[in-house]
Amino acid sequence: MFMKKNKKFFKYFREYQWSNILAMIKNNRSDPKICSDDFKNKFVVISGATSGIGYYTAKKFAAKGANLICINRNIQKSKDLCREIESEFGVKCDYLIADLSILKDIYQVAEQLINYNTPIDVIIHNAGIYLTKKEVTNDGLEKVFVVHHLSTFIINYLLMDKLISQQQARIIMVGSEGHRFAAWGIHIDDLNWEKHRYSGLKSYGTAKTAQLLSMIVFDEKFRNTGVTINTVHPGAVKSETGQENGPVYRWFKKNFLDKTLKSPDISAEALYYLGVAKEIEAVSGKFFNLTTEEEPAPPALDKEVAYELWNKSMELAGLDK
Alpha helices in the chain (DSSP H): 2-15, 18-27, 52-63, 75-89, 103-115, 143-145, 151-158, 160-166, 200-222, 247-252, 265-276, 303-317
Distance CA 61, CA 210 (A): 28
Structural contact between residues 210 and 164, judged by C-beta atoms closer than 8 angstroms: no
204 assigned to active site: yes
Is 10 part of any domain? no
**Tell me, what's the pLDDT at 275?**
98
Q: Is residue 27 part of a domain?
A: no
CA distance 154 to 146: 10
6 within a domain of the structure (yes/no): no
Task: Note the pLDDT tens digit of each residue in 237-266.
Answer: 655 554 554 444 344 434 444 444 567 899
- Reported as a pLDDT band with limits 50, 70 and 90, residue 8 is confident
User: Domain for residue 28, yes or no?
Assistant: no
Residues 105-155 pLDDT 10s:
999 999 999 999 999 999 999 999 999 999 999 999 999 999 999 999 999
CA distance 318 to 35: 39
* Residue 11 belongs to some domain of the structure: no
Whole-number mean pLDDT of the chain? 91
Burial 64-92 (b: 16+ CB within 10 A, else e): bebbbbbbbbeeebbeebbeebbeebebb
**Hey, CA dihedral for 107, 110, 111, 112, is it positive or negative?**
positive
Q: What pLDDT, on the 0 to 100 scale, is given for residue 238? A: 52
Instruction: Provide the domain count of the chain.
Output: 1
For residue 264, the model assigns a pLDDT of 83
Query: Residue 96 CB: number of other CB atoms within 10 A?
Result: 16
- Span 25-52, mean pLDDT? 94
The domain containing residue 262 runs over which residues?
41-317
Q: Mean pLDDT throughout 31-54?
A: 96
- Judged against a pLDDT cut of 50, whether residue 2 lies above it is answered with no
Q: Which of 204, 249, 272, 273 is catalytic?
A: 204
Would 73 be classed as within a structural domain?
yes
pLDDT band per the 50, 70, 90 thresholds, residue 100: very high
In one-letter notation, the amino acid at residue 252 is F
Could you tell me the CATH number of the domain that includes residue 60?
A: 3.40.50.720
Maximum alpha-carbon separation in the chain = 60
- CA neighbor of 234 nearest in space, from 196, 208, 198: 208
Q: What is the pLDDT of residue 241?
A: 55
Q: Looking at the domain assignment, is residue 49 inside a domain?
A: yes
Does 294 map to a domain?
Answer: yes
